[in-house]
Amino acid sequence: MTLDQQPLPSARDRLLTAAGELFYVRGINATGIDAVVERAGVALATLYKQFGGKDRLVAAYLEERDHRWRADWEAAIATTTDPRQRVVAIFDALERWWGTEGCYRGCAQVDAAVEITDAEHPAIAAITRHKTHLRQRLTELTREAGAAEPEQTAADIVVIYEGTITALLLQLVPEPLQRARRLTTELLPTDNRR
């Protein structure tokens, strides 16, 4: 067996990890570059060498979050073969994230969109990619679940999904995840194979 030698993460990865923790919990504008560098245990010049500046570090942070969410969604979807359950699985992924994270601050992409008002900021494109992917993936899943209009049903579910994220953040309603699963299920055709 090979030794499980930890490859000790590169300076770039350590920066990305530190940025992820700080930007998400404290906010992007409220987090200074020095705090990221200190938490990563890395020299300031390395940050500029790797990312060129804060803006592109923020964009890279959101890209990384996007990749993790896509993986989490797919993992949740893969737990079942029932086409209707596979649609609802995005809320299982959301529940896992909500329960795991030390501090829940909603969707990192939405938070960034609120904080960043400059349309030219490189993070904006990353946010759009993340949300577009979710809508497209839900369209596939609702089609496989037999929806008459998969695009429309997927759009409905996107609204419920975003509302659930906000409801979790602000604790607006009791049991938002149960609620979201029920609302979503009601949008899908009933299983009439039997």
Measured CA to CA, the distance from residue 116 to residue 142 in angstroms comes to 32
**Contacted entry of DNA, its own copies, none for residue 42, CB cut-off 5 to 8 Å set by kind:** DNA
102 binds its own copies (CB under 8 A): no
Q: Which amino acid is at 161?
A: Y
- CB of 20 closer than 8 Å to CB of 68: no
Q: In the structure encoding, which two tokens stand for residue 73, read together? A: 């969604």
**Contacted entry of DNA, its own copies, none for residue 173, CB cut-off 5 to 8 Å set by kind:** its own copies
Is the CB of 41 or the CB of 189 nearer to DNA?
A: 41
- Per-residue DSSP letters for 139-150? HHHHHHTT-SSH
Tell how far CA 142 is from the center of its chain.
Answer: 20
Tell how far CA 98 is from the center of its chain.
Answer: 11
9 binds DNA (CB under 7 A): no
**Contacted entry of its own copies, DNA, none for residue 159, CB cut-off 5 to 8 Å set by kind:** its own copies
- Which residues inside 39-98 make contact with DNA, applying CB under 7 A? 41-46, 48-50, 53-55
136 binds its own copies (CB under 8 A): no
- CB of 185 closer than 8 Å to CB of 127: no
Q: Would you give the end-to-end CA distance of the chain in angstroms?
A: 50
How many CA atoms does the CB half-sphere of 75 hold within 13 Å?
A: 11
69: exposed, middle or buried (Cβ count in 10 Å: 0-12, 13-18, 19+) = buried
Q: In the structure encoding, which two tokens stand for residue 90, read together? A: 């995005």
Least distance from its own copies to the Cβ atom of residue 170, Å: 6
Binding mask 21-50 for its own copies (x = CB under 8 A): ----xxx-xx--------------------
**Contacted entry of its own copies, DNA, none for residue 111, CB cut-off 5 to 8 Å set by kind:** its own copies
**Residues found near DNA in the complex (CB under 7 A):** 10-12, 31-35, 41-46, 48-50, 53-55
**Residues found near its own copies in the complex (CB under 8 A):** 25-27, 29-30, 105-106, 110-111, 113-115, 117, 127-128, 131, 135, 155-156, 158-167, 169-170, 172-174, 176, 179-180, 183, 186
